[in-house]
Structure 1
């Protein structure tokens, strides 16, 4: 039974993180989503202080793979960078088109477009993160006869198989395989024995990929696992809390007020937000239905990167400070 604890703001778990480290020392391993999260977690574990001498063990998935592979005495594979991934995808696609010259006239037109290589690479990475093998892909998508030649399904299955074969032949790995490779290392008796002496604390994951979920289940059978996970307050979201603890059903109630503001297009939308925000700061306008604000520092606006310049332009127009 997993220990699942939730939070709305990670600072709520400062005391809990500190206590976990004090109780377990370096036998407690904190797992975070990315290297950018390491310093933030260390800051909380130290109760916003600093460490002299030994420091808490904070790993990413890549760190976990490296350590577990060494425990298994097989050593980690060289993990390729994204540019290498793109080059390999381009190579196997080019080779496929050369070898299947007789099929060229039947292949979908999009295969020959320059952007197809990127689309293919993204699809292959998605399959890897979900830990789906070519055999499983075939079973899920096609009948016993397999996909028709030159069909999109045939192309994906063939090139996915070719990509995996290339990685195996060259003894390298895609970063999307990290969780799957870690799970394979845990078949070693030596690594299982070493890992069973540790407590893993997974912090800050909103969701887990299919391969990460499989790895987590394997870790739960071997050693103690604790989850400190962000709470969205949304019952229907299949988030990390649901993924690791199906018995966790009681979600905190969401008491935030919601106000819908409609506009004709993106620019009008951001202008409307800025205008109503300016009015709100003066105690008037539609947003007053949400309550009062003391100053603009009480407000946060979330937009996609591609629309960042639009909202900045609108805020500047209404003389609203932002950073």
Structure 2
């Protein structure tokens, strides 16, 4: 069965295209998206406009498709490989680099950049790109005309940056394999190998499955091999490709030998672009926001180039996450209304700041003064905390604080114990799901606990309208939980 490829330029064009994907009688229908941010707009298109019909569409990323594949092939109960989280990736990269530095402390000089703080980031990103493209360590060695080695063991340490990368890449992949782990950048490769190891079960599942890949301009080598594998095993594949109007090597070119006819569409609708340059990132945001404000007043270059102001609800700014605080600061200064489309993250709210502060107290053995002032925060308990009594009693440590709260302030004991479960879960290496569940409990424990954080904070900041945005962020984070 040939791969079905359709092009779209704007999200509004997706609805009729997606309806084409429902013509097959597939038992399993999966939608694959490049990233987490793509999941919501695709779901809104499928559910909001009634395209999908009843039920909830299955929208997956590559690592989630791995878990689905393991479950369908019944390999999830056979000690499957486990995906490492991004923090683990950086820890492993740091570890193998530090081990290398120990080996060379008395030997050769290494490139000076290896000791710089940013080297780990560059090294990790490069290795993840190699994994996405399914570059085998031995192939990397051959490309450097190396005589080969035993997966990085007994490899002569070379001052050449290329050979140094090769050695570290060997050691990184060997570290993962020896522990039954895989990097998220390897997800497509791991899925394909899992399918190839279980051909009968895979065929039974995939012959009744349809996969719709949405939003991929192109595929990495590892992803492309997986698509070919799915196709060969009998799965029905549809690829919705963003149209750019450019002559580039996109998904259509990559899959042209699997399709009957290369899709052709009329020229893309022209987009008007106005380039504005500034000296640095801050000035860039300042320049943009100032011109948006002028546009609303029928002034400035945007008014001349684009005509009437469309209204704030029809404007969007796409910005990297690390620049978001700066953008928010400038928007507030110019009093421009906005909301963050992807929603606030828990870590950016008072919720996370409070539990992080409690964890710090936990690590210090719950000193009297700091713990008492923490529990006296007005948004924690429903009733006023007996701060003076606590300071006089001077409890210290977990047991003394639990005894004090149990005798003098029972309402606060539940709060304290739930916060303890959060700190203990962090210390014991609790999973993200477990930690988020505890955070959810913290915000929904009823009137005597931290429950109703958003309601309590809303009442507290009534006289301070400038804090409304912080309360909105907290409420949004709680809803996300």
CA distance in 1, matches of 2:121, 2:286: 35
Cα pair 1:206 1:229 within 8 Å, conserved: yes
Match of 1:107 among 93, 107, 110: 110
Corresponding residue of 1:5: 6
Measured in 2, the distance between the counterparts of 1:234 and 1:131 equals 29
CA distance in 1, matches of 2:40, 2:289: 35
1:279 to 276, 294, 313: 294
Q: CA deviation at 1:123?
A: 1.9
Task: Measure the CA separation in 2 of the matches of 1:303 and 1:163.
Answer: 32
Residue 262 of structure 2 corresponds to residue 253 of structure 1: no
TM-score (norm 2): 0.57
1:122 aligns with 2:132: no
Structure-1 separation of matches of 2:296 and 2:5: 40
* 1:228 aligned partner: 240
**Contact 1:25/1:56, CA 8 A, preserved across alignment:** no
C-alpha separation between the residues in 2 aligned to 1:163 and 1:207? 27
Distance 2:273 2:118 in 1: 40
Aligned equivalents of 2:333 and 2:72: distance in 1?
59
Counterpart check, 1:86 vs 2:90: yes
For 1:257 and 1:43, locate their aligned partners in 2 and report how far apart those are by CA, in whole Å: 27
Greater alpha carbon shift after TM alignment, 18-27 vs 215-224: 18-27
TM-score, normalised via structure 1 length: 0.82
**Counterparts of 2:298 and 2:195 in 1: how far apart (Å)?**
60
Superposition deviation, residue 267 in structure 1: 4.2
1:150 equivalent in structure 2: 159
CA contact 1:4–1:229 (8 Å) conserved in 2:
yes
Return the offset for 1:219.
Answer: 1.8
- Whether 1:219 aligns to 2:253 is no
Distance 1:310 1:87 in 2: 29
Whether the aligned pair in 2 keeps the contact of 1:92 and 1:163 (CA below 8 Å) is: yes
Corresponding residue for residue 292 of structure 1:
308
Distance of 1:57 and 1:297 partners within structure 2: 30
Secondary structure (helix, strand or coil) at the match of 1:228 reads strand
Q: CA, structure 1 residues 251+98, in 2 after alignment: closer, same or farther (shift >3 Å)? A: farther
Aligned residues: 319
CA gap of 1:249–1:15, structure 2 versus 1, over 3 A, is closer
TM-fit CA distance, 1:71: 4.7
> Any idea what SS the aligned residue of 2:267 has?
coil
In the alignment, which residue of structure 1 is the partner of 2:189?
180
Q: Partner of 2:319 in structure 1?
A: 303
Mind listing any 5+ residue stretches in structure 2 that lack a counterpart? 149-155, 340-481
**Offset at 1:128?**
0.9
Q: 2: distance between equivalents of 1:145 and 1:119?
A: 26
Check 1:280–1:82 CA distance in 2 against 1; reply closer, same or farther (3 A cut).
closer
CA distance in 2, matches of 1:47, 1:64: 24
Deviation digits for residues 175-217 of structure 1, max 9, x if unmatched?
2211001111222322134212212111233443221122112
| Distance of aligned partners of 1:313 and 1:113 in 2 relative to their CA distance in 1, 3 Å threshold | closer
For the residues of structure 1 that align with 2:331 and 2:191, how far apart are their CA atoms?
47
Mind listing any 5+ residue stretches in structure 1 that lack a counterpart? none
1:63 equivalent in structure 2: 64
Indicate conservation of the 8 Å contact 1:38/1:58, yes or no.
yes
The CA deviation string for residues 78-137 of structure 1, in whole angstroms up to 9 with x for no partner, is: 11222222232233223333344553x321223234443333222221211111011221
1:172–1:286 CA distance, 2 compared to 1 (3 A): closer
Shift of 1:32: 2.6
Per-residue deviation, 1:161: 0.8
